[in-house]
Chains A and B, each alone.
Chain A
């Protein structure tokens, strides 16, 4: 049987068919859908954990017991999970273990462009690199088998295009693999000296064995063209983008990009005059070949950042002298008005950032939908790096300001998902060496879901949604840490929320404000829409500046000046625009 699957769905299918039992993840684009698909299989224990570190640890536990296990996460998620990863991979693997990581060349939905093949190598893992949905499924199965055969942890590194791309996949049945059970063995599973001394040698041998296996493994495909003096070494989607050019050159397509067979590459290097490596992001394969002493070229012709499309490959190969006549030489992309993302109609973040913008305070942001407060139409958030980082950064900047005699307030914003993911340790640290001159206001945007990635549950969403089983009370949790000044506010009561936030920034000390409105995408607001009375509207644009999709200036018949207007099809009736209007021109329709 065949089906059309995305790369993400195919990863999940591969794990299912291979008898996978334990799977954990933390939602992050581009890999969210893997876990959402896994949750549909009754045979598999699948969870979205609090963060990637916990997810990886759940998978490690499963593997130690001998169950086929996996963890999936976006590329930066692996940074969170690095500590257990780097120690665990020293052990001989019991149940097949795969870390699936979603890289994001071009950064369509990420804060950086790190190339996790480097982490895979750093952590002594073999790395598969699929280019289609079929490969995603096949490589997942092979990775689990090799993991057990070589007692090695494996990485499946899949790029965002391949995660979201759909293709036809041949489906197979599930083969049950019974867990082998856990056998106590300090030498294997307790990484203290001297056990970890031996582990270093074990890992080295393990990679060597895998490297030898790669020589004629079926997942590495050699396509030789009679008479070609050029060999292109590539992997993943780059192979398929290259094939679009229909060139008469030999290709070595690596299904497994690490380790690469030295024997195979040496043989090939004797046969071919030019070896060209095509890969997105870092020169990973290129560097591996160069370490083997193989003369090759890659990043000399291809960008180290962004995606490489067929036209980019053509251009690089043209510069390399392989392509003579370019088909795609004169591409002129249309240069027109940009469309940055926006907070949804009814989004509970809108009034908060409108208030902060008007207060003109420095805001240290974090990762979530509220990251969009950094966009040009807002510029209401001024620092943004990584999950949970706002808390410590705010504390540090606050301390530096006080040392410098700077008395201005600092505001930190963090969502509920991010709070639990990695904001918690920062909050625990807050009252340590607190000073009476501190002035920090923490706004926890508790929208009851992990919204940016599609509305997954988190540790407090059960308080709002009975289908979720975790009910952590953020306010009680903060109080138990010794943070006393914690208030809850309904931000759709705009003036009250504004007064509370303003007061908090004026007071010294540590204030926490929890905003209580849920995500408007997950918990839809269905109130009668609002409309503008053009006779009352003074055209001040205060409502337009709250940047809500249905609100725009419009020409009304018989009125010279532009007046505001609201698209009734898109308005959900949240009322924020009517509350910021200084003249009461915005009215509810019923």
Chain B
């Protein structure tokens, strides 16, 4: 299995932990893996992105243009912003919950709803309000775990490895909620 996974979201959404969980699961399943995430100034509500590259041998953590297989959009505008990195027909897992950026909050620019809608013409897109789904699982903070569950359906990594990795990376009192959130995502696709 060779997969290039891009993650895009807003600072504070927990993107760094999501890339960590995905990369550790891939490592435990015996793959070479490299990841990237941009942190720093951008963590305060700015745009953040990360990548996870899984394969037999991975050189660079950066995904070259048009070589992305799966894009996890923690937020729709951010998924749209990074869609150029995807190969045509690639999978987009989209959390539909919008987070308006400052220029939209201040009514200087429109949120690009039509452009986001048009992503379905080029890519294989699965949408979900991950916040609502996580609320059903018990805590809205598990939203990314729902999306990881959806991702797991597209990857060749055994479920027990996912469970084990999630267990070791989320706060102990949040384990059950996250496992529930994971399967809600996994069974959605």
Using a CB–CB distance below 8 Å, which chain A residues touch chain B? 2, 4, 29-30, 108-110, 132, 160-161, 164-168, 237, 240-241, 243-244, 309-311, 327-328, 331-334, 336-344, 369, 372, 375-377, 452, 541, 544-545, 547, 549, 551-553, 569
Contacts and interface: CB of A to CB of B under 8 A. Distances in A.
A576 to B, nearest CB: 15
Contacts of B138: none
Contacts of A344: 12, 44-45
A166 B60 contact: no
Contacts of A545: 106
Nearest to A378: B102
Residue among B37, B45, B66 with the most chain A CB within 10 A?
B45
Contact of A340 (B20, B60, B102): B102
Given A334-B80, A549-B45, A109 B40 contact: yes
A241 B44 contact: no
Contacts of B65: 311, 328, 331
Contact of A164 (B12, B38, B84, B99): B38
Contacts of B64: 244, 309-311, 327-328
A338 B112 CA distance: 11
Given A167-B34, A331-B66, A377 B102 contact: yes
Contact of A168 (B27, B39, B110): B27
Contacts of A337: 77, 101, 103-104, 109-112
Those 9 A-B pairs whose CB atoms lie nearest each other, nearest first: A109-B40, A341-B46, A342-B45, A29-B40, A339-B101, A166-B35, A109-B41, A341-B44, A243-B59
B53 to A, nearest CB: 10
A343 B23 CA distance: 30
Given A108-B38, A164-B36, A166-B23, A547 B105 contact: yes
Nearest to A332: B84
A116 B45 CA distance: 30
B133 interface: no
Contacts of A372: 44
Contact of B41 (A29, A241, A332): A29
Contacts of A327: 64
A339 B47 contact: yes
A380 to B, nearest CB: 14
Contact of B103 (A309, A338, A343): A338
B81 A334 contact: yes
Which size class do B's interface residues fall under?
35 or more
A334 B84 contact: yes
A340 B84 contact: no
B144 interface: no
A241 B23 contact: no
Contacts, number: 153
B61 interface: yes
A421 to B, nearest CB: 18
Contact of B34 (A166, A309, A311): A166
Interface in B49-71: 58-62, 64-66
Contact of A569 (B10, B35, B78, B131): B131
B175 interface: no
B61 A336 contact: no
A449 to B, nearest CB: 14
B3 to A, nearest CB: 15
Contacts of B104: 337, 552
Contact of A243 (B27, B60, B82): B60
11 contacts: A4-B24, A311-B64, A328-B64, A331-B66, A337-B77, A338-B47, A338-B103, A339-B47, A452-B41, A541-B107, A549-B99
Nearest to A549: B45
B140 interface: yes
Nearest to A4: B27
Q: Which interface residue of A342, A552, A569 has the most chain B CB atoms within 10 A?
A: A342
B33 A334 contact: no
Given A4-B33, A327-B64, A339-B47, 9 more contacts: A4-B35, A108-B42, A164-B38, A334-B82, A334-B84, A337-B103, A337-B111, A339-B46, A377-B102
Contacts of A339: 10, 45-47, 77-78, 101-102
Contacts of B24: 4
B125 to A, nearest CB: 15
Point out which of B11, B36, B83, B102 has the most chain A C-beta atoms below 10 A from its C-beta.
B102
Nearest to A371: B41
B90 to A, nearest CB: 14
Contacts of B131: 569
B68 to A, nearest CB: 12
Contacts of B43: 341
Contacts of B105: 544, 547, 549, 551-552
B165 to A, nearest CB: 10
